[in-house]
Amino acid sequence: MTLALLSDYFPLELEKGDREEKFITSGVTWQAYESLLTSLGNSSGYRVAYLLETLEIMSPSRNHELDKKNIGRLLEVYLEEKRIRFWGLGSMTIKSEDKQAGKEPDECYCIGTDKEIPDLAIEVVYTSGGVDTLEIYRRLGVIEVWFWQNEQFTIYCLENDSYQVKSNSQLLPNLDLNLMAEYVTINDPLEAITQWRKQVKDNTNS
């Protein structure tokens, strides 16, 4: 599908709002994918994924964005209190023409040192189906992926070029993600951050 066809179809299919929607199409060239990214620009609220000529465009819901923000803030509080160096890259587009893969995570981070490809990608899942997110990240070499779905985290770590489900983060082995999940679901973000910071400090000092 050409960029012109995408541009004609795309605005009619997805509208920003409380409802999460996806548009998926095949036969999209890499050049059309990159042109679409340029057309959308950095201000776009959409998430775009590409894998082997299949393109996915998602319009995230309000709850999706709230969870994304809450997870990012809580993780950064942990990293700050533990004095772990990090680079928060938000929804930066990660892509490789050679690998025919590209993705805009909900959040992504380099841990320890700054890198071209982030160590950690975080995905908030409210709508199932679509392109194979893990295959995109595998091709790009992201070593750890967290999925947030049904108010819990699932952790995937890249080992021998394939992802394995783990009970805890390999990048941040002392982070209790089951405990952090309880704070993600607190309705008041300020209260969640305040309580979480105290929890992390208490654990650090104990």
- My answer on whether 100 and 198 are in the same domain is yes
- CB-based contact 46:37 (threshold 8 Å): no
Do 29 and 66 lie in one domain? The reply is no
76 shares a domain with 51: no
Same domain, residue pair 70 and 148: yes
> Do residues 28 and 119 share a domain?
no
Contact 4, 32 (CB under 8 A): no
Q: What is the pLDDT of residue 127?
A: 82
pLDDT given for residue 12 in this prediction: 38
- Same domain (yes/no): 120, 163: yes
**pTM: predicted TM-score of the whole model, two decimal places:** 0.89
User: Quick one: 54 and 68 in the same domain?
Assistant: no
Provide the domain limits for residue 27: 3-59
> Are residues 84 and 44 part of one domain?
no
User: Are 91 and 170 part of one and the same domain?
Assistant: yes
**Domain total of the chain:** 2
- Joined together, the tokens standing for residue 17 give 């709002």
Quote the distance between the C-alpha of residue 172 and its chain's center: 17
Token pair for residue 20?
Answer: 């999460």
Residue position matching structure tokens 């994924």 = 49
Contacts (Cβ under 8 Å, ≥6 apart) of 74: 180, 183, 184, 192, 193, 196
Same domain, 113 and 191: yes
Sheet of 152-159, strand order: 86-88, 107-111, 120-124, 144-149, 152-159, 162-166
pLDDT at 3: 47
How does pLDDT run across 115-168, given as a tens digit for each residue? 999 999 999 998 877 899 999 999 999 999 999 999 999 999 999 999 999 999
Residues 132 and 90 both lie in one domain: yes
CATH assignment at residue 99: 3.90.1570
**What string of pLDDT tens digits covers the 206 residues of the chain?**
444 445 554 543 445 456 678 889 999 999 999 999 988 876 567 889 999 999 999 888 889 999 999 999 999 999 999 999 999 999 999 999 999 999 999 999 999 999 999 999 999 998 877 899 999 999 999 999 999 999 999 999 999 999 999 999 999 999 999 999 999 999 999 999 999 999 999 887 66
- The dihedral region occupied by 137, where left means phi > 0, alpha psi between -120 and 50, and beta the remainder, is alpha
Task: Find out whether 166 and 129 touch, Cβ atoms under 8 Å.
Answer: no
CA distance 85 to 173: 15
Pair 45, 80 in one domain: no
Which of 14, 44, 59 delimits the end of a domain? 59
